[in-house]
Amino acid sequence: MSAETLSQNVNIHDWAFNAVDGNLYAVEKSTNILYRINPTTSVVESMGVVPILSGLDYTYGAVYFDSEGRFYVSANQTGTIYVIQNVQDLNGINGMDSNLFAFGPSSASNDGARCPTAPVLQEICDNGIDDDGDGLIDCEDPSCSGFGNCAVIAPPTTANEGGLESNGRLSQAINRRNFNRAKNSYKFNLKTARRLTKASQQSQKNAFTGFQLQDFIPLTTINEDYAIDSTPLDLLNITNATEVYSVDYIQNDASIASILALKTENGVYEHTKYICDRLLGAELISVSTIDINGEAFIKSIIKNAEGSFEYVLSLSAKVENSDANFTIESHWNLDLYQADVTFYNFQIWSDSIDDLYRLAQEVLNLLNTEKPISGYQLSAPPTVFVRKGKYNNGALDLQIINTNATEDVTVDSRFRITETNGFNYSTANLNLNKNYITDIQLPTGNLFDIGFRIGDGVNTPDDLFLSDGPWGIDDSQNGTTVMTYAVSPNTNSFDVEDFLIERNVLLTATTQSYVAAYRALTPRFKPVDLSDYDSFKLKASGTGNLEIAFVKQSITNWEEQYKTTVVLTDDFQDFVIPFSNFTATNGTSMNLEDAVTIVFTMVSEDGILRGKAMNLQDISFSTGNTLSADTFETATDTNTLAVYPNPMTETSNLYFTTNQTETVQLIIYNTLGNIVFEKTVKTQVGRNQIPIIKQNLNSGLYVCKVLSAKKQYAPLKLVIK
């Protein structure tokens, strides 16, 4: 062993030995240059700036190699691991292949040694298999970013849509807000929103004594093209926020990041993005720490239902020491925040972990400028958490990630069977057998919403909340008084092919204008494709005319929504209403490809105070137009698809005919329009057959499409039991 002098000075914090060529490699802080160091001659060579690191300013305190010469570089502040391929082949001139590899926790210290000839599992990005064992398949894995058909980036959601994940306490007020937005087809328009500048913020500050939320909002920190005001003022009426201000950061006419700032005077803001999203189609890809100004905050990476990724962080500031200082709190569990004090809350999300870091750091710097930060109260992320889940036929299907080999966890839940029922409580123990990934089913029975905590009793637990599409009432008109509003569980069985509207509703009221009950098809009033159905069924009794309207997302005027009217009596009647009975003022036939809400309205036609009643049960969407194997065998239309058996239990086959050989793609969508299965096949002349396996698909309705460059096949619905 000897001490040597390098041929040039480099600002590095770790290096690693490459067993392929016998050299040392390191990445320099700030410049992000990859250096090759000859351990024999001490000569340092620059291989150029690492593309994936360009523009970053991190400390790379942990680097290592695998047996094939891939160089892995970890950023201390964010925990992000990057990979540089085949560094031994670089000469400083040829191109450098670099990408994301994984997301880990931040670290304030550098690492120890790692065997340079040990293999590192790699994700193959197009084989439908979790090759590296992290539970992420193909494009879900960060190491596949930009590979083949895997997208590099997707815009996050706007702050105008955020900040409202129901915890059960305010569900009725939240539902009413979402109903009003859906009824009027409200959609935030990025292009017409007010643009923000530092000059405009400063002018507002000069006219205001003290500080306000916008004083803590960064501008130009992430090199956005411009920033816009996206403040959802309607949050003030239905949450514990007393002030709200939000900004979207725009690049290439799309939102790349958002900050939602809220003042609360009776404790922390009670809605957090990660608590609810995972049971509504999103996935919690990772939860770990990010080091900002020397403090370890919790960051989470969320894959939204539509496939975009968001990097999320939240923090709250409270005034202490006779208004002289701010103290910062940030926790995964809301009950860890100090109660009954005023907080300035900041929820930050971005499509880039680096922009998340920059925005959060600048928020802290702006807070510190206003009042010096005297302390931090931060907690660790959960070690056991739910990656994704879904309520299905009286049970929660959960995928649990167990990062510390925990043997058992406890699930404490608080739930309601319907919107108007009281809360019930339950406790269950789950055995994870120390496995990293566990798919488990937790029986719950029929329910409307549930909040639950899962943990080992030692480390930070995970909290989640789930709600079904809610029932609600519109009694907003003067002179309308609700006498009875009760929601009850369904008790009758349904055809498996029907789209069931869970729970029944009873509403009695007096009105001199109108009263209505409504049912959202999803918890957040998102559109659902119901175009494969052709009728609407319900069992109902009541007083006189009942108008039924379907609110479509694409129609902005309530008067132009599709509606029909049925006559109710004191006795229950079974109604099967063809879609053709629903009409609109524009005279076009109805296509329910974007249904959001069903609205049931009773009107006092003469303007006199009248008693109104509706008792609606066993509501569903149905169809009589199904294809079968027999249909296929006798069909003369070569554009016809058929699936047999349908409904499918475990396996089925899709049949179609073609007059020529070609390559086609089978795509299966769920009712939200998300792709859940796809397969490419080469056809033969005549009859073709494609096997379908249930695998991880849940029970329900799906749509099959065969995409061909030479002909158009009619889509077909598939029911999975």
Encode pLDDT of 639-687 as tens digits: 788 888 878 888 888 888 888 888 899 999 887 778 888 898 999 888 8
Contact criterion met (CB below 8 Å) for 97 and 88: no
d(C-alpha 535, C-alpha 577), whole Å: 5
DSSP 408-471: EEEEEEEEESSTTS--EEEEEEEE-TT-SEEEEEEE--S-SEEEEEEE-SSS--EEEEEEPSPE
DSSP 3-state of 4:
coil
Q: Count of residues for the chain?
A: 721
List, in sequence order, the alpha helices (H) in 184-259.
198-206
How much is the pLDDT for 618? 95
Task: Please give the structure tokens belonging to residue 571.
Answer: 């006795």
How much is the pLDDT for 631? 41
Residue with the two structure tokens 């599409």: 469
Angle at Cα 454 formed by Cα 452 and Cα 455, nearest 5°?
Answer: 150
Residue 60 phi/psi, 5° resolution? -100, 85
- Of the chain, the percentage scoring pLDDT greater than 70 comes to 83
d(C-alpha 287, C-alpha 79), whole Å: 11
Contact criterion met (CB below 8 Å) for 50 and 74: no
How much is the pLDDT for 199? 62
Q: What is the pLDDT of residues 168-222, one digit of tens each?
A: 444 555 555 556 655 555 555 556 667 777 666 655 555 555 799 999 999 999 9
Minimal CA–CA distance to 406: which of 388, 430, 389, 428?
430
d(C-alpha 379, C-alpha 331), whole Å: 5
Residue 361 phi/psi, 5° resolution? -60, -40
Minimal CA–CA distance to 205: which of 213, 333, 142, 461?
213
Minimal CA–CA distance to 285: which of 163, 139, 155?
139
SS (H, E, C) 48-116: EECHHHCCCCCCCCEEEECCCCCEEEECCCCCEEEEECCHHHCCCCCCCCEEEEEECCCCCCCCCCCCC
d(C-alpha 247, C-alpha 431), whole Å: 43
616 class by beta-carbon count within 10 Å (0-12 exposed, 13-18 middle, 19+ buried) = buried
d(C-alpha 36, C-alpha 20), whole Å: 13
Residue 273 CA neighbour count, 13 Å, CB half: 31
Minimal CA–CA distance to 170: which of 269, 28, 43?
269
- Give whole-number Cα distances, 229 to 245, 250, 681, in Å: 8, 11, 48
Task: Please give the structure tokens belonging to residue 470.
Answer: 């809610």
Residue 183 phi/psi, 5° resolution? -60, -35
Residue spans of the chain under pLDDT 70: 1, 109-193, 198-209, 273-274, 276-277, 624-638
117 class by beta-carbon count within 10 Å (0-12 exposed, 13-18 middle, 19+ buried) = exposed
d(C-alpha 174, C-alpha 237), whole Å: 9
- Delineate the domains of the chain, giving CATH numbers in brackets: 16-120 (no CATH), 159-170+183-378 (no CATH), 384-466 (2.60.40.10), 471-622 (2.60.120.430), 629-720 (2.60.40.1930)
Letter for the amino acid at 42? S
- Give whole-number Cα distances, 662 to 618, 633, 680, 681, 688, in Å: 46, 22, 11, 8, 12
d(C-alpha 656, C-alpha 642), whole Å: 7
